[in-house]
Amino acid sequence: MTVGLPDGFIRASEVLDERFAGTAARQLDQQFGNEELLYGLNLLGLAGPFSRVTPWELEDEAGVRRINASGYAATPFGEMPPVLTDFLQDFLTKNRAMGLPQQSSGPWRAALQTNLVRLLARELPSHTDSQVFFCSSGTEAIEGALKFAKAWRPKAKFQISFSSGYHGKTLGSLSLTPNPEYQDVFRPLVPGALTCPYGDLTALTSLIRRVGPDNVVCVVVEPIQGEGGVNIPPAGFLSGLGELCRKYGIVVIADEIQTGLGRTGHWFESAAQGLDADIITLAKPLGGGMTAVGATIVRHAIYKKMLGGLSSKRHSNTFGGGAMAMAVGLKSLEYLMDNDLPARSLKLGELGLARLRTIQAEYPRLLEDVRGQGLLLAMQFKPMLGLPLPEVLKELVFEATAILALRELHGSGVMGNLSLSSKRTVRLTPALDMPEDVFKIMMNRVADFAARNPASRHILTNTPPAMTAKLAKFAASKPKKRTPSDG
């Protein structure tokens, strides 16, 4: 047996002291991690690593600073927010509770689950005696929700989700994320997944009637679709969906992983839109951008059906409810409440959307649409090549438009997000507590980006030809099956 450290072992202190950083870190991240992803991003100059300057500002290796509106809605207070780092110092010196209580009781878990249920019950009194199951990601929160629903209606076999919906990439949640790019090689997926057009109550009603209401386990819905490109459903859709499902006893799962806890301006977007869901999933912001916390909040009777009596170990995990994750979740929730960040998000988001609309009016050949609510803002680009193209090429052009637009935005000093299930939409998801002056500078930079790219074809002509050639070669090596067009 060989003893001692393997060659090239990297010590934690080297990372902490930034002796291991920059290009060396990126290269090894690529070599021993998701090489293709980081390779593509690096071609675009978007791979980092980036370092925190302030919670809202990041710098790259060359010292260029950018305002951060990326993070896929999971960094509600920016990077390393003092409210959490100060608290964590205290936690590390004072906490005596077990790190992973698992099958014993834990005060941090108890506090966070109590607060979540009380917060929800304030909006939806029917949830006063609901119960929480903690996990460590959004997709796992959905897996839990699907199991709770199935245990409640064991004879039913169909689960319904919506076109352009996104619920995660583990097998259960993936089955309800109707995107061939993510699903195809994994077929057959979990059986019984049906897709309905988002926002179409008539289609949902006929689908349920066609398969028979007793055969439907659950309907899973995002109150506003995030990865689908920020799609806000028509008024009455969510409340109508709730009434329909209640009539038939079908379980409603509101996936609030992206929208919940203030991102779209409300504690629970589904409740704000008149939906009293049976199960609500949360994740992203609950970890404060520093830890992994997912939660499935479930009506009492449904919770008991899966985890009742001797069946109480039917669903479990090792890390859910861990002390540090729960402590950060608890502090994050407290900070959201103390500063009424959902209301702030709604107000700042109105300013942001108004500005995006002005930019769109000025540059209609760049922006096909702008959308948003709260600090979930989206820009949908005109395709950068307008020629009639065969379907496969059209998809590629859509995808390239958003990717190169992200690069141009980056060049103007703003970091944004792609949308995992919408090809040519770039989203801005800044911290909910971003100071107003920083937010305004960010929107000025978005305007600068548009001025540099007054029509979408400039996104291509502003890209250095050598970079375009390398990207084209990279794209040609990717599998051909792509996300269905969103335009």
At residue 264, what is the residue type?
Answer: T
- Give the pair of three-digit tokens for residue 316: 């479990």
- Please provide the DSSP assignment of 328-371 as one string: HHHHHHHHHHHTTHHHHHHHHHHHHHHHHHHHHHH-TTTEEEEE
> Rounded to an integer, what distance in angstroms lies between the CA atom of residue 25 and that of residue 32?
11
The only residue of 40, 76, 106, 168 in contact with ligand PLP, by rule CB under 6 A: 168
Between 182 and 474, CB nearer to ligand PLP: 182
Q: Which of residues 61-90 bind ligand PLP (CB under 6 A)?
A: 72
Between 72 and 474, CB nearer to ligand PLP: 72
* From 9-17, 251-259, 344-352, 463-471, span contacting ligand PLP (CB under 6 A): 251-259
CB of 430 to ligand PLP, least distance (A): 17
Between 176 and 471, CB nearer to ligand PLP: 176
Instruction: Beginning with the edge strand found earlier in the chain, give each strand of the sheet holding 414-415 in spatial order.
Output: 51-54, 57-59, 65-68, 414-415
Look up tokens 């409340």; give the residue: 239
Position 285 contacts ligand PLP (CB under 6 A): no
Binding-site residue total for ligand PLP (CB under 6 A)?
A: 15
**Residue 369 zone, left/alpha/beta (φ > 0; ψ -120 to 50; rest):** beta
Q: How far, in whole angstroms, is CA 87 from its chain's centroid?
A: 25
**Environment class of residue 124 by beta-carbon count within 10 Å: exposed (0-12), middle (13-18) or buried (19+)?**
middle
Between 73 and 341, CB nearer to ligand PLP: 73
Position 175 contacts ligand PLP (CB under 6 A): no
Q: Identify the sign of the CA torsion 119, 120, 124, 127.
A: negative
CB of 115 to ligand PLP, least distance (A): 21
The only residue of 222, 269, 433, 486 in contact with ligand PLP, by rule CB under 6 A: 222
The only residue of 120, 193, 244, 283 in contact with ligand PLP, by rule CB under 6 A: 283
> Rounded to an integer, what distance in angstroms lies between the CA atom of residue 285 and that of residue 263?
8
* From 92-100, 138-146, 231-239, 343-351, span contacting ligand PLP (CB under 6 A): 138-146
CB of 406 to ligand PLP, least distance (A): 17
Parallel, antiparallel, or unpaired: how do β-strands 65-68 and 414-415 relate? parallel
Position 254 contacts ligand PLP (CB under 6 A): no
Kind and range of the H or E run holding 219: strand 216-221
Position 163 contacts ligand PLP (CB under 6 A): no
3-state helix vs strand vs coil in the chain, percent to 5: 45, 15, 40
* From 36-44, 153-161, 222-230, 393-401, span contacting ligand PLP (CB under 6 A): 222-230
CB of 241 to ligand PLP, least distance (A): 16
Between 120 and 376, CB nearer to ligand PLP: 376
The only residue of 55, 138, 229, 430 in contact with ligand PLP, by rule CB under 6 A: 138
Nearest to 403 by CA among 13, 18, 11, 40: 40
Position 167 contacts ligand PLP (CB under 6 A): yes
The answer to whether 160 and 204 are in contact (CB under 8 A) is yes
The only residue of 57, 60, 143, 227 in contact with ligand PLP, by rule CB under 6 A: 227
Instruction: Give the CB-nearest residue to ligand PLP.
Output: 138
CB of 420 to ligand PLP, least distance (A): 7
Position 226 contacts ligand PLP (CB under 6 A): yes
98-137 footprint of ligand PLP as x/- string (CB under 6 A): ---------------------------------------x
Nearest to 437 by CA among 374, 348, 356: 348
Between 139 and 373, CB nearer to ligand PLP: 139
188-207 footprint of ligand PLP as x/- string (CB under 6 A): --------------------
Instruction: Spell 222-237 as b/e; 16+ CB within 10 A means b.
Output: bbbbbbbbbbbbeeeb
CB of 127 to ligand PLP, least distance (A): 20
The only residue of 134, 152, 166, 198 in contact with ligand PLP, by rule CB under 6 A: 166
In the three-class reduction of DSSP (H, G, I as helix; E, B as strand; rest coil), residue 260 is classed as coil
Parallel, antiparallel, or unpaired: how do β-strands 216-221 and 193-196 relate? unpaired
The only residue of 174, 257, 302, 431 in contact with ligand PLP, by rule CB under 6 A: 257
> Rounded to an integer, what distance in angstroms lies between the CA atom of residue 50 and that of residue 57?
10
The only residue of 143, 255, 269, 433 in contact with ligand PLP, by rule CB under 6 A: 255
> Rounded to an integer, what distance in angstroms lies between the CA atom of residue 425 and that of residue 109?
37
Cα-based distances in Å from 322 to 106, 270, 330: 8, 28, 12
The only residue of 75, 258, 270, 380 in contact with ligand PLP, by rule CB under 6 A: 258
> Rounded to an integer, what distance in angstroms lies between the CA atom of residue 44 and that of residue 453?
17
Position 319 contacts ligand PLP (CB under 6 A): no
> Rounded to an integer, what distance in angstroms lies between the CA atom of residue 139 and that of residue 170?
6
CB of 281 to ligand PLP, least distance (A): 7
The site for ligand PLP (CB under 6 A) is made up of: 72, 137-139, 142, 166-168, 222, 226-227, 255, 257-258, 283
